[in-house]
Chains A and B, each alone.
Chain A
């Protein structure tokens, strides 16, 4: 594997300098985790809340093709960025 990623701070670097952080959808859903908390959604059926949380935590699209995903540049600037990668060819696009 010789995947290279473009870090917005550090430029094009080999993927071994990064940690994979999962699909961007899971990242986005984290912002809403309070939405499934009981205090925030008293009207919502509790079972449905737990079901939605299970899907958020465990279910992934696992795309075949273009995927937006999170990478953490642990050996560089130590910041997150979002990359667009083709999971079939490992081609990385610079912009979303």
Chain B
């Protein structure tokens, strides 16, 4: 199965694109970079710090030079982006434009901007730095980020292949085919479209032949234009496809990411017109563009000589263009055709750009200086093509720690032949050859030669780190690869060290004393994800598909105009537009609340009573059928983590409730203890199958009497009572509860019947002044009663005594979960309590207000509301009282000032509970 993952809905195929207001014609096979180059664009970006001109350089997606803003997305590698899918392109930085950038003066001012200048200067006076920071942030970097881009919701897709192959070159294709031939499932990912970046030649031919074979294997999934972001423990390799994030969980991995042409460091090596050989060959062989009119090439390998042939074939078609000189070792000189000057065993030591920039010159390459045994030669040219050697593109491979990963092809042996690459891919795919790399990635025993150390020139193109700046940092004492990385940001840019790592190591090796150097100092910097630049939308893939639970009454709430809020995974009404009206309905008439989100469990079986007796800190055995009791839930450390009701049902066991947020975890808690103790109990989670409607207010009985013939008077259903009644013909379990402090009954019933009951209550309640109330009203109602909400008012280490709920814990019981811990904690003086506070002033302090006594900070407020009925603010707050008894008065300080309050007693409302028990 071939499933190229480039299925993003595309704009219609364009025949032109907009480049900073210019219409640029586009050929079918163009990348954005090649289309711009054909149209004469030479300056592709301005550098990170010094605003130097940067042109096309690697064309393999490794260097930062072609990063542009594409259709609003910043820092897109235009050398890998098909031009036909793009509408607008612009260069990110430069003022007034990247073409004529006045900020390039910064290069002349570099003496004032050494590495780490922002740590050393502009620090005093103190007000200077915030101003300087704003300027630096505006001037440096890759340009601004558009803030009006549409939100992209990406999905993620999991794959579980036996083999993942990263890289669709010869080695990678051979590995994928070898595994598929054994019948294994394979995912093959490549950054581009397999083969498309290669100029015609033996490599391209072999890749095309192998690629054709993929079709024969249904077990290979091909992901093209898909970036492997990193290699995580598991192993897990997230791969950013064009339209979704692939999470690949393979049994084994072959990394065949190839090699990148060695970066060159000499003065002027970053000028537009300097190319790496594979990039120039791609420009010539794939896009039929000459890198210049007068080309100088440096070639050190047979492969580079192939690229020379490709270049010559192109310039032959291009009137006036020619390769003027080739710098090559004597061994390769025979391959240089007649008519081209050969400089044996030379090296380019400097390059110069065109002058007269303000007069309209683009500042591109003008001449290069070549040092040979016979002295220095200056050669006029406008393109320099560098085939100096290869560095492994091993960012991903070096992330492999203790994972079944094998490298194949050029990433382990840069410059290997096609046959060697194919054989190495074939071997790497074998389950026998795949080794779990222990510890950090081990570099090949035969250490590759490091490049010569230059004293001038840009080591790092991404972050604009110059050779002299490394020397300066070294002299300041940053004397290892890792320290230099952190101080100068070398290897930290978009290329993640692909270009600069070898130069950094060579520099450190030379400075630290050649052969006797301590290896830790010259080790490559640690590779970490992301190996390639990653979009935030890929990191967030899948998380914007929220799990949203709705109760059976959700549409009823919306129809009533409810404002909904998240409570855990549930959506619940905050209010229906009038919090105080909802509150007054409860206090004066009757009101409904949907409490279906409560955790609801039935516990039955021979040991049900013993089980709950040992689980809860309150008595269970004496709970008669038809009675309920408020119960705390303690963990083994004696800390409160949930609360709820226990209802005794007689032969049917117990019906127990938990808070909405605790409902899910309650099941694991119940089952863990039932298993630990080996009790014979059945645990049924009824949270979903049962809904619950809370009917509260002094006219509750008046309302229910219209809908039921069953007795609901104080004798039949007293406070704390539980009974089975039929309301509007629906069988309900009625529980007399007291959270809001009024006569109130919770009706629990099968979820599918909840809308019918809600509608019946609504219809019958009009004459009683019924209206529903939401969480906002509930929070005031319960606060007037001094009730805490677990998790809102309590902390992770709240004991019952600290929150004033010691009455709900029966220490005389021989055992319950947390009992021994409470006994231990009782020996430690309690220095912190959750206390009821009242504020007589015209306003209640804000929630989160800090509490002070005589100017000393003593705690904070967790819940606070102004009570319309009581005419004062009521609150709960944590107060420290190391001296023993809590203070009598506190001052709350919030964003609006100070409010004086007193420590009081709860409940604030109906302290004797007469309304509650009516």
Residues on A close to B: CB < 8 A? 1-4, 14, 19, 21, 27-28, 30-31, 33-34, 36-40, 49-50, 53-54, 56-58, 70, 72, 74, 78-80, 88-90
Q: Is the Cβ of B677 less than 8 Å from the Cβ of A2?
A: no
A3 vs B235: C-alpha distance when bound (angstroms): 8
From known contacts A74-B664, A89-B402, infer whether A53 and B685 are also in contact, taking CB-CB under 8 Å: no
From known contacts A31-B678, A33-B817, infer whether A3 and B234 are also in contact, taking CB-CB under 8 Å: yes
Which residues from 799 to 830 on chain B have a C-beta closer than 8 Å to any C-beta of chain A?
Answer: 814-815, 817, 819-821, 823-824
Closest B residue to A50 using CB positions? B824
Q: Is the Cβ of A74 less than 8 Å from the Cβ of B668?
A: yes
Please, which residues of chain B bring their CB within 8 A of the CB of A14?
158, 249
The answer, among A2, A57, A70, A72, for a CB contact under 8 Å with B636, is: A57
Please, which residues of chain A bring their CB within 8 A of the CB of B236?
1-2
| B895 CB-CB contact with A under 8 Å | no
Please, which residues of chain B bring their CB within 8 A of the CB of A58?
637
A31 vs B685: C-alpha distance when bound (angstroms): 23
Please, which residues of chain B bring their CB within 8 A of the CB of A80?
668, 671-672, 675
Closest B residue to A36 using CB positions? B820
Which residues from 381 to 406 on chain B have a C-beta closer than 8 Å to any C-beta of chain A?
Answer: 402
A2 vs B248: C-alpha distance when bound (angstroms): 10
Which residues from 809 to 862 on chain B have a C-beta closer than 8 Å to any C-beta of chain A?
Answer: 814-815, 817, 819-821, 823-824
| B667 CB-CB contact with A under 8 Å | yes
**Smallest CB–CB gap between A45 and chain B, Å?**
14
Q: Is the Cβ of B235 less than 8 Å from the Cβ of A31?
A: no
| B762 CB-CB contact with A under 8 Å | no
| B519 CB-CB contact with A under 8 Å | no
Please, which residues of chain B bring their CB within 8 A of the CB of A72?
668, 671-672
Q: How many of B's residues come within 8 Å of A, CB to CB?
A: 32
A58 vs B820: C-alpha distance when bound (angstroms): 13
A90 vs B247: C-alpha distance when bound (angstroms): 18
Closest B residue to A30 using CB positions? B676
For the complex of A and B, the 7 pairs showing the least CB-CB separation, nearest first, are: A2-B234, A2-B236, A39-B814, A37-B815, A30-B676, A53-B820, A72-B668
Closest B residue to A37 using CB positions? B815
Contact with A along B622-656 (1 / 0, CB 8 A): 00000000000000110000000000000000000
Instruction: Supply 10 further A-B pairs (C-beta < 8 A) apart from A30-B672, A70-B672, A79-B671.
Output: A2-B233, A4-B234, A21-B672, A27-B676, A30-B636, A37-B815, A40-B814, A58-B637, A78-B668, A89-B402
Contact with A along B653-682 (1 / 0, CB 8 A): 000000000001101100111011110000
**Smallest CB–CB gap between B143 and chain A, Å?**
35
Q: Is the Cβ of B234 less than 8 Å from the Cβ of A30?
A: no
Q: Is the Cβ of A33 less than 8 Å from the Cβ of B820?
A: yes
Residues on B close to A: CB < 8 A? 158, 232-236, 247, 249, 402, 614, 636-637, 664-665, 667-668, 671-673, 675-678, 685, 814-815, 817, 819-821, 823-824
A28 vs B814: C-alpha distance when bound (angstroms): 20
**Smallest CB–CB gap between A73 and chain B, Å?**
9
Can you list 20 residue pairs at the A/B interface with Cβ under 8 Å?
A: A1-B236, A2-B232, A2-B236, A4-B234, A4-B249, A21-B668, A21-B672, A28-B676, A33-B820, A34-B614, A34-B814, A37-B819, A38-B814, A39-B814, A40-B814, A53-B824, A74-B667, A78-B667, A78-B668, A90-B233
Please, which residues of chain A bring their CB within 8 A of the CB of B817?
33
Please, which residues of chain B bring their CB within 8 A of the CB of A2?
232-236, 247, 249
Q: Is the Cβ of A31 less than 8 Å from the Cβ of B677?
A: yes
Closest A residue to B638 using CB positions? A57
Please, which residues of chain B bring their CB within 8 A of the CB of A28?
676
**Smallest CB–CB gap between B837 and chain A, Å?**
33
Please, which residues of chain B bring their CB within 8 A of the CB of A27?
672, 676
Please, which residues of chain B bring their CB within 8 A of the CB of A53?
820-821, 824
A54 vs B668: C-alpha distance when bound (angstroms): 23
A34 vs B817: C-alpha distance when bound (angstroms): 9
Please, which residues of chain B bring their CB within 8 A of the CB of A38?
814
Please, which residues of chain A bring their CB within 8 A of the CB of B668?
19, 21, 72, 74, 78, 80
Closest A residue to B636 using CB positions? A57
A1 vs B636: C-alpha distance when bound (angstroms): 29
Q: Is the Cβ of A40 less than 8 Å from the Cβ of B815?
A: yes
A43 vs B249: C-alpha distance when bound (angstroms): 56
A10 vs B9: C-alpha distance when bound (angstroms): 37
Please, which residues of chain B bring their CB within 8 A of the CB of A57?
636-637, 821
A51 vs B673: C-alpha distance when bound (angstroms): 22
A19 vs B665: C-alpha distance when bound (angstroms): 9
Please, which residues of chain B bring their CB within 8 A of the CB of A3?
233-234
A56 vs B635: C-alpha distance when bound (angstroms): 13
Closest B residue to A89 using CB positions? B402
Q: Is the Cβ of B676 less than 8 Å from the Cβ of A37?
A: no
Closest B residue to A15 using CB positions? B234
Q: Is the Cβ of A78 less than 8 Å from the Cβ of B637?
A: no
**Smallest CB–CB gap between B399 and chain A, Å?**
14
A34 vs B819: C-alpha distance when bound (angstroms): 10
**Smallest CB–CB gap between A47 and chain B, Å?**
10
**Smallest CB–CB gap between B729 and chain A, Å?**
34
A33 vs B95: C-alpha distance when bound (angstroms): 73
From known contacts A1-B234, A57-B637, A80-B672, infer whether A34 and B815 are also in contact, taking CB-CB under 8 Å: yes
A56 vs B402: C-alpha distance when bound (angstroms): 34
Please, which residues of chain A bring their CB within 8 A of the CB of B402?
88-89
**Smallest CB–CB gap between A27 and chain B, Å?**
6
A28 vs B672: C-alpha distance when bound (angstroms): 10
A72 vs B667: C-alpha distance when bound (angstroms): 10
**Smallest CB–CB gap between B484 and chain A, Å?**
31
**Smallest CB–CB gap between A35 and chain B, Å?**
9
Please, which residues of chain B bring their CB within 8 A of the CB of A88?
402
Closest A residue to B614 using CB positions? A34
From known contacts A53-B820, A79-B671, infer whether A1 and B676 are also in contact, taking CB-CB under 8 Å: no
A34 vs B613: C-alpha distance when bound (angstroms): 12
Please, which residues of chain B bring their CB within 8 A of the CB of A40?
814-815
Q: Is the Cβ of A37 less than 8 Å from the Cβ of B820?
A: yes
A70 vs B247: C-alpha distance when bound (angstroms): 26
**Smallest CB–CB gap between B156 and chain A, Å?**
12
A50 vs B820: C-alpha distance when bound (angstroms): 7
Please, which residues of chain A bring their CB within 8 A of the CB of B677?
30-31
Please, which residues of chain B bring their CB within 8 A of the CB of A31?
676-678
A88 vs B673: C-alpha distance when bound (angstroms): 29
A80 vs B668: C-alpha distance when bound (angstroms): 8
A27 vs B61: C-alpha distance when bound (angstroms): 53
A42 vs B218: C-alpha distance when bound (angstroms): 71
Please, which residues of chain B bring their CB within 8 A of the CB of A89?
402
Q: Is the Cβ of A49 less than 8 Å from the Cβ of B820?
A: yes
**Smallest CB–CB gap between B403 and chain A, Å?**
9
A23 vs B519: C-alpha distance when bound (angstroms): 41
Please, which residues of chain A bring their CB within 8 A of the CB of B614?
34
A69 vs B502: C-alpha distance when bound (angstroms): 45
Q: Pick the most buried of B235, B249, B815: most chain A CB atoms within 10 A of its CB.
A: B815
**Smallest CB–CB gap between B579 and chain A, Å?**
35
A31 vs B614: C-alpha distance when bound (angstroms): 11
Please, which residues of chain A bring their CB within 8 A of the CB of B823?
50
**Smallest CB–CB gap between B658 and chain A, Å?**
15
Please, which residues of chain A bring their CB within 8 A of the CB of B158?
14
Closest A residue to B824 using CB positions? A50
Please, which residues of chain A bring their CB within 8 A of the CB of B821?
53-54, 57
**Smallest CB–CB gap between B247 and chain A, Å?**
8
A27 vs B235: C-alpha distance when bound (angstroms): 30
Q: Is the Cβ of A78 less than 8 Å from the Cβ of B672?
A: no
Please, which residues of chain A bring their CB within 8 A of the CB of B676?
27-28, 30-31
**Smallest CB–CB gap between B619 and chain A, Å?**
15
**Smallest CB–CB gap between B250 and chain A, Å?**
10
From known contacts A2-B235, A50-B823, infer whether A33 and B637 are also in contact, taking CB-CB under 8 Å: no
Please, which residues of chain A bring their CB within 8 A of the CB of B665?
19
A54 vs B671: C-alpha distance when bound (angstroms): 23
**Smallest CB–CB gap between B821 and chain A, Å?**
6
**Smallest CB–CB gap between A85 and chain B, Å?**
13
**Smallest CB–CB gap between B639 and chain A, Å?**
10
Closest B residue to A26 using CB positions? B636
